[in-house]
Structure 1
């Protein structure tokens, strides 16, 4: 396969993957609303698009399979079949098979025939399906002919001119004509009235037109399906002969500004020169490689650092002209930064479709009827966060169904509806996004978790922990309260993976549960991983950055705590005891501290802790630079940033520091209890 063909095949795989997700979503929606004809038509159009693109780029087996798939689905469009759970299940299996065919998987023929035979048997149970009816020219046959197109009294005459770039973009007029042949006897005539003289001719332009006379009364939907890929860039007229009265239909393109409608001419027009491409409309999109977006974000980050250095130089200067230029640059960089970050933002709904399929399969395999509800699908997150979030959510949802929801018998016995409910929601909260998974199942049993934690040596019988602290034991590596290991759970790996992944995203996990009522797990995630607001602090002459989203407040360190042994002590902040850590001791700084130290109170899912610092410098835009593999084992630091004077400041990991404060507090409790 040539480089151009390889590129075309890769583009097809990307677009087909998106269409498959659309089909799966449509199937799940159709199962809930079986009478929605618009959903059926939308699914059918997506199938047809995959089939046509597959044939164009050489995926013949895939195209043939999808042809049979859409033929079965066409019975739904024409009212010859009804939506059922079995049909949705088989259709989802067909989607999985299309994915395998896209990846050129081997030994797929038997699975193809098994799925298609099951579909045919389901749609037409009274017909013998021992010999699969696969047409020889399956790729050329777009749809089964609807009843309204079988009239021999009406002839449809279609005249079309493709866009000038059609051949360069891979369109094949012969395939379009072959699809029209499937509707009936056909006569084809080339139209050369738009071909210019030889001196003006570009051999790569598509300038010829075609007149196709079909002995059938084709509907507008039939024609739309044939020209689905090229409709935006073509001129198309339709004439129906033999109808009473005779009618000529002008089928308007979607973008009229691009492709003006050509009425059927009375005489040949003068040769037309290729039209210049119109400017893209506001709603159009284009594909950009992820690497290019990452590179652009890196460049913007460098600009933010350079801007900070310029501001520092400007502050030391009294030149009004320099200050004016610095302000303009600051405004332009802020706009560029916001625009670049917005390009990286992706709605969380882009990954919710796969979870609906997962929940349906889990419900069937575990025999636990459930309703899966999604809220806030338009909430946007950085694309990197979205990509890394998929696996943790799979673990959480599996646990919700396997451990959280009771069996139908148990639910009925406890007075609950037979069908459980699991809700996956997302919403903004300041500079964070909260992703919540909530179920109405049995809830967490604090006593059972406590006993398991004691048996594993994670705590002692003397430890007096709150229920919320006990619940967090489920995130410990290898921890599980399940006695029997199943295919879905029981090895204590899933929630450990969740904790480590969310921590790597600088996120936090909140967990709440009520025995017999259900469990709510909340992921707190930053909007972006590239640029954040940070608080710059000084400890022992070195500067560090704390993510501003983790900072609750700043207070003066009381004189009674000015000197200490470096361990954790407590501050009374509005009647609540808050442990604090001395960063000087943590970072092994021997010099004498200043007379007046500050305490920065930071919080995470595990609680909150005060960090004793020498000085608070201020708030700044912080460009995050990842630490190298040589520094992967460093605790308490999540990255680094470059300051306005070119020096490097490490970024403190609030989650790790809060966990350290909690551990010190637990050790102190144990010493007191002993």
Structure 2
């Protein structure tokens, strides 16, 4: 049980550290934003308290020093600078390292902790701050360490503060007295300004305000009265302990009676009228608008106190639980088996031709589809959870290289399967590092090219035809086409006589060991990485393309399927072999009709679709199917990024829920095939890589031009 609780702590601490990094990078851009400063402080405060509770004392002691520095930032004593952000990021990384080390704190970890603590103390001292022992950290509710003694029970008080008009002339600031009261516990403050005159008659030396304060605190009544110890004789205040049970929900009438604003008989007499109580009381002039306003504030105060006293999660109608990704993967695997079983049941119902069995099969199919969709929705994550990790990468790299780079994120709300998101981390990381290192120029060079000194790397995502399109774009130098071509000839990847398009030349950078860098750095230049990027993207069933313009920048475009588990497919047949086409890529299905346009290659005919010429690929010829040709061919048109293309098959059989099964290593490099699936009769159908087939068609068309 203890191990399970500790694992929850570690998971939440790592989540806090991820959010902390994001907040620190935001704070670097807006160093005076108090909300962000408060968020950073609360994260450190929570980590400190939680780590102490679970016995991670080294983390708690280290975080306490960091929290002390942030508390002085929060109080406006110490400023936020790049130096402080650097220290906070190092502290964040060190805390994560200590979390991974667990209870095994080595001398090296202790030494690093002491070095960083000294750096924080030095920063605070040199920036006008106080030593940590003289600047106690403000207490905030979170996961605190074990208290030394039980807390005193809290009481609720009504405080009515009526300052005189002349109070300002005595040097007293009444708003500071109200602030001091509110800091003694949980307070609801109601300000009244009914006596405020018109602007032309206003005297700046007179006070026209008064306050009611509902305060729930562990302080005594005498402590509250001490706030007003130096109040002038013309001002007045009352402190009254609330006798109502704060754990109950009280009506406005009960509160007004308890406040002696009205009698019970008067309340009973007006309750017979079918209007809101407050409206009736004001109309009959039994209470003032000010009294109603204060009573409503007290009612809301009790509600807030009640919600705070409820167990965690009880005050909210919406709740959530943590589920490990392994359990979600297991659930999707089981649903995949259920889908396969349902396909066998449907096949059996057709063979036996029994109405009862057909009804059961249809009902089972509806349940399987609903369960599949729900399970896949659970696994969907906004891709922004991945994108935000790269802010730190861009910041650190740009500082290391002496460049100025901004990371712009677009489409962070686009959702993608968690498994896909996890596998995208490495390829995206490498592409972003390349954009910063190879793409963005030094500030001096950018100014010479009449560009702003700060470069921009844009990371965007959007849904398109059942897939997610991710773009990594920079406004840098662009790819050197001639240098890539020369390197390709030097490595004998191409010959001097080859007539290649720009896209084909650019794709040479995905060859293993390919690099045009003149010198090797700690970041890049060894020709390792881009080949792995392409391999990782293809393993996801996706594709990658490049667009680049000299001195304007480079754009890498990744097309990634939404999920790797279960899809809706269109079952087709060529000869005796069955193929699956993902439904979300299909525009329409129809009979093939030749457009009459002649093609030099019979593999790539043209079809007539609603009066338009559509380039196609004949899969029978592409896969060299030996069986006799069918008399009529059918066409499936595909929505690709480059326009409408067609896939010609012998027969379209109908829709099919497809559980994706990966191919073995022997078949992974088969062009036009991405994965496989098991049909209801136990046979195997191949899932077509429609984007790759579309690229072949577009390349053929471009070659003709």
TM-score range, shorter chain: 0.7 to 0.9
What SS does the aligned partner of 1:177 have?
coil
Give the CA deviation at 1:510: 2.8
Specify the alignment match of 1:524 in structure 2. 559
Give the CA deviation at 1:342: 0.7
Pairing partner for 1:77 from 68, 74, 77: 74
Give the CA deviation at 1:548: 3.5
What SS does the aligned partner of 2:147 have?
helix
* TM-superposition CA deviations, 1:165-187 (whole Å, max 9, x none): xxxxxx99xx4424xxxxxxxx8
CA distance in 1, matches of 2:57, 2:69: 19
- Does the Cα contact within 8 Å between 2:570 and 2:581 map onto a contact in 1? yes
Pairing partner for 1:510 from 537, 545, 549: 545
Specify the alignment match of 1:239 in structure 2. 219
Give the CA deviation at 1:312: 4.5
Pairing 1:144–2:139 present? no
Specify the alignment match of 2:617 in structure 1. 580
- Does the Cα contact within 8 Å between 2:53 and 2:146 map onto a contact in 1? no
Pairing 1:409–2:444 present? yes
Q: How does 1:231-270 map to 2 (within 5 A)?
A: 238-240=218-220, 241-244=222-225, 256=306, 259=309
Specify the alignment match of 2:10 in structure 1. 13
* TM-superposition CA deviations, 1:171-226 (whole Å, max 9, x none): 99xx4424xxxxxxxx86888xxxxxxxxxxxxxxxxxxxxxxxxx99977979xx
Q: How does 1:661-672 map to 2 (within 5 A)?
A: none
Pairing 1:621–2:634 present? no
CA distance in 1, matches of 2:411, 2:699: 36
Pairing 1:434–2:469 present? yes
- Residues 362, 585 of structure 1: alpha-carbon distance in 2 compared, 3 angstrom cutoff: closer
* TM-superposition CA deviations, 1:654-674 (whole Å, max 9, x none): 4565677799999x99xxxxx
- Residues 499, 189 of structure 1: alpha-carbon distance in 2 compared, 3 angstrom cutoff: closer
Q: CA RMSD in A?
A: 4.1
Specify the alignment match of 2:680 in structure 1. 644
Query: Greater CA radius of gyration, 1 or 2?
Result: 2
Q: Which runs of 5+ in 2 are unaligned?
A: 154-178, 187-215, 229-238, 247-300
CA distance in 1, matches of 2:568, 2:606: 26
Specify the alignment match of 2:51 in structure 1. 54
Pairing 1:24–2:21 present? yes
Moved more, 394-403 or 294-303: 294-303
Q: How does 1:491-510 map to 2 (within 5 A)?
A: 491-510=526-545
Specify the alignment match of 1:118 in structure 2. 119
What SS does the aligned partner of 1:108 have?
helix
Give the CA deviation at 1:368: 0.6
Specify the alignment match of 1:591 in structure 2. 627
- Residues 572, 397 of structure 1: alpha-carbon distance in 2 compared, 3 angstrom cutoff: same
Specify the alignment match of 1:399 in structure 2. 434
- Does the Cα contact within 8 Å between 2:461 and 2:471 map onto a contact in 1? yes
The number of residue pairs the alignment matches comes to 573
Specify the alignment match of 1:44 in structure 2. 41
* TM-score, reference length from structure 1: 0.75
Q: How does 1:290-305 map to 2 (within 5 A)?
A: 290-305=325-340
What SS does the aligned partner of 2:580 have?
strand
- Residues 398, 576 of structure 1: alpha-carbon distance in 2 compared, 3 angstrom cutoff: farther
CA distance in 1, matches of 2:481, 2:613: 25
- Residues 319, 591 of structure 1: alpha-carbon distance in 2 compared, 3 angstrom cutoff: closer
Pairing 1:481–2:516 present? yes
CA distance in 2, matches of 1:134, 1:566: 79
Q: Which runs of 5+ in 1 are unaligned?
A: 136-140, 150-157, 163-170, 179-186, 192-216, 225-235, 261-274, 670-674
* TM-superposition CA deviations, 1:535-559 (whole Å, max 9, x none): 2121221212133345566676678
CA distance in 1, matches of 2:181, 2:11: 31
Q: How does 1:251-330 map to 2 (within 5 A)?
A: 256=306, 259=309, 281-313=316-348, 325-330=360-365
- Does the Cα contact within 8 Å between 2:592 and 2:607 map onto a contact in 1? no
- Does the Cα contact within 8 Å between 2:615 and 2:697 map onto a contact in 1? no
- Does the Cα contact within 8 Å between 1:532 and 1:622 map onto a contact in 2? yes
CA distance in 2, matches of 1:324, 1:259: 53
CA distance in 2, matches of 1:278, 1:27: 29
Specify the alignment match of 2:202 in structure 1. none
Give the CA deviation at 1:319: 6.5
Give the CA deviation at 1:568: 4.3
What SS does the aligned partner of 1:373 have?
strand
- Residues 295, 189 of structure 1: alpha-carbon distance in 2 compared, 3 angstrom cutoff: closer
- Does the Cα contact within 8 Å between 1:253 and 1:259 map onto a contact in 2? no
CA distance in 2, matches of 1:247, 1:479: 80
What SS does the aligned partner of 2:126 have?
coil
- Residues 189, 332 of structure 1: alpha-carbon distance in 2 compared, 3 angstrom cutoff: closer
Specify the alignment match of 1:91 in structure 2. 88
Specify the alignment match of 2:169 in structure 1. none
- Residues 304, 354 of structure 1: alpha-carbon distance in 2 compared, 3 angstrom cutoff: same
CA distance in 1, matches of 2:601, 2:595: 14
* TM-superposition CA deviations, 1:506-558 (whole Å, max 9, x none): 11223212111111222111111111122212122121213334556667667
- Does the Cα contact within 8 Å between 2:614 and 2:645 map onto a contact in 1? no
CA distance in 1, matches of 2:680, 2:315: 40
CA distance in 2, matches of 1:27, 1:428: 30
Give the CA deviation at 1:630: 6.9
Pairing 1:177–2:227 present? no
Give the CA deviation at 1:57: 1.2
CA distance in 2, matches of 1:221, 1:346: 40
Specify the alignment match of 2:391 in structure 1. 356
